[in-house]
């Protein structure tokens, strides 16, 4: 029988901050996004903050309303990444089958390790104590015979705990849980299940897969397998590289977008990032997707196929702007935009089918220009060379320019000039 662990760093960002702010132990605090960039949400909270009903993902103003004396710390993502990497190095002492699930969670397959280190439960307790002693944070670990139940185990009891869910006790532990606790049951899926009287994981497990498939599609069959403990998904090796299916970028802008010029500036900035990442990985795609969120937080995405595969930022931007003018409008100001290229494959090598409806000579010149700008940016920084349209302060990659609306274009150019000198 397989021995699978799921380890979750408790309140990861907040737990790491407590190492550097021991004076905040017992004081309600959260790690929050940058409110000046309209990213003001709770990224993590400590247990005293949780006691006030503060939830990850809620707006900081809402969190402050629940706890007026709440402390808000800025996020330090590089620091958190270093600590998570240190924790993973401990996992790798026990197995090379370590599959990250986000920054602070990992699955470990220790089936082949029990002869060296003892039972899966012993390994889990040893890892838990080592992380606490060597790193200074705590983890909760689920021990089970599949990935889904191992994750349920790490969520079942927190903090600093080990929970075993095996074939003898999973019906007593797992089935009474709300169906929303099961992996990949989101809010909408939970609502669909609730409307049909399926409230717990046990209800889900005892509903026929045919019925679930009728109103949830393939996802229904998958959830039936998960609920009954039939999941056999393997834990991937730590160095496993997943096939890339799409490449995208999105941003929440410093202010709402009211004009087509604003949208064009942001779309070109995002397209530059997407194209650069595609070229770096030697990929190209022909499915363009554009997503927008308006000032009322309503979200929508539209997509269409391009005439040919591409990784040119100019063609990505043109496709995205064509989508916008055809399928969207600015009757309600926009808060955020995302650009994505899907149906990705390896860049064409050797002979390429040319088009009768495209100036191939001009396209080849554009390709060489974009490859050259990639080299310049890699050597001198992202702001060393810019498209004129992306010099709008709305563009997040334009790091030399601050928030829109607080200084003149002359000041923008002055700061940009200084960045070049540096």
Fold of 12-78: MutS, DNA mismatch repair protein, domain I (3.40.1170)
CATH architecture under which domain 175-227 falls: Orthogonal Bundle (1.10)
Q: What is the pLDDT of residues 269-294, one digit of tens each?
A: 999 999 999 999 999 999 999 999 99
Residue 403 reports pLDDT greater than 90 = no
The reply to whether the predicted model has a pTM over 0.85 is: no
Look at residue 420 in the predicted model and tell me its pLDDT: 38
Residue 421 reports pLDDT greater than 70 = no
Cα dihedral sign, 257-344-105-15: negative
Paired strand residues for 304: 288
| 3 state SS for 114-160 | HHHHCCHHHHHHHHHHHHHHHHCCCEEEEEECCHHHHHHHHHHCCCC
In 3D space, the residue among 14, 167, 140 whose CA is nearest the CA of residue 83 turns out to be: 14
Phi, psi torsion values for 289, nearest 5 degrees:
-130, 135
Look at residue 349 in the predicted model and tell me its pLDDT: 59
Residue 400 reports pLDDT greater than 60 = no
- Residues 17, 99, 105, 276: which is the catalytic one? 105
Q: How far is Cα 268 from Cα 112, in angstroms, rounded to an integer?
A: 50
| Residue 210 among the catalytic residues | no
Residue 411 reports pLDDT greater than 60 = no
Q: Give 41's DSSP letter.
A: B
- Indicate the pLDDT class of residue 366, thresholds 50, 70 and 90: confident
- Indicate the pLDDT class of residue 387, thresholds 50, 70 and 90: confident
Look at residue 353 in the predicted model and tell me its pLDDT: 64
Paired strand residues for 72: 30
Mean per-residue pLDDT for 342-349?
Answer: 84
- Indicate the pLDDT class of residue 356, thresholds 50, 70 and 90: low
Helix (H) or strand (E) holding 60: helix 60-66
On the 0-12 / 13-18 / 19+ scale of CB atoms within 10 A, 417 is exposed
Mean per-residue pLDDT for 304-324?
Answer: 93
DSSP assignment of 374-415 equals HHHHHHH-TTSS--GGGGSTT-TT-TTS-STTSS-HHHHHHH
Whether omega before 16 lies within 30 degrees of 0, making that bond cis, reads no
| Domain residue spans of the chain | 12-78, 175-227, 246-421
User: Token pair for residue 104?
Assistant: 């602070």
* Fold agreement between 12-78 and 246-421: no
Query: Under CATH, to which class is 246-421 assigned?
Result: alpha beta
């Amino acid at each position: 029988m397989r021995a699978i662990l799921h380890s979750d760093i408790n309140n990861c960002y907040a737990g790491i901050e407590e190492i550097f702010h021991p004076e905040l132990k017992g004081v309600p605090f959260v790690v929050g996004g940058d409110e000046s960039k309209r990213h003001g949400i709770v990224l993590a909270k400590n247990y005293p903050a949780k006691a006030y009903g503060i939830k990850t993902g809620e707006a900081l103003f809402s969190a402050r309303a629940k706890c007026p004396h709440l402390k808000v710390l800025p996020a330090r993502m590089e620091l958190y990444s270093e600590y998570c990497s240190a924790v993973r190095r401990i996992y790798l002492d026990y197995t090379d089958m370590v599959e990250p699930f986000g920054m602070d969670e990992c699955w470990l397959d220790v089936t082949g390790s029990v002869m060296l280190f003892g039972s899966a439960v012993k390994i889990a307790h040893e890892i838990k104590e080592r992380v606490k002693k060597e790193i200074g944070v705590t983890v909760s670990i689920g021990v089970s015979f599949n990935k889904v139940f191992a994750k349920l185990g790490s969520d079942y009891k927190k903090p600093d705990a080990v929970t075993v869910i095996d074939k003898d006790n999973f019906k007593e532990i797992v089935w009474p849980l709300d169906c929303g606790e099961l992996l990949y049951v989101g809010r909408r899926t939970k609502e669909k299940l609730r409307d049909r009287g399926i409230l717990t994981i046990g209800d889900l497990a005892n509903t026929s897969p045919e019925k679930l498939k009728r109103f949830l599609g393939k996802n229904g069959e998958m959830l039936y397998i998960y609920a009954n403990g039939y999941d056999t998904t393997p834990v991937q090796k730590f160095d496993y590289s997943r096939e890339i299916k799409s490449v995208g970028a999105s941003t929440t802008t410093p202010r709402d977008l009211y004009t087509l010029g604003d949208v064009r500036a942001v779309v070109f900035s995002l397209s530059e990032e997407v194209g650069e990442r595609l070229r770096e990985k030697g990929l190209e795609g022909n499915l363009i997707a554009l997503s927008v969120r308006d000032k009322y937080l309503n979200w929508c995405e539209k997509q269409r196929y391009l005439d040919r595969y591409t990784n040119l930022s100019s063609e990505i931007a043109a496709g995205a702007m064509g989508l916008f003018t055809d399928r969207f409008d600015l009757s309600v100001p926009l808060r955020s935009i995302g650009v994505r290229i899907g149906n990705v494959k390896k860049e064409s090598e050797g002979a390429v089918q040319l088009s009768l409806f495209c100036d191939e000579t001009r396209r080849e010149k554009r390709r060489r220009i974009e490859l050259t700008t990639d080299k310049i940016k890699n050597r001198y920084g992202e702001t060393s060379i810019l498209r004129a349209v992306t010099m709008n302060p709305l563009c997040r990659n334009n790091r030399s320019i601050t928030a829109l609306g607080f200084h003149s274009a002359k000041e923008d150019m002055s700061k940009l000039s200084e960045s070049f000198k540096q």
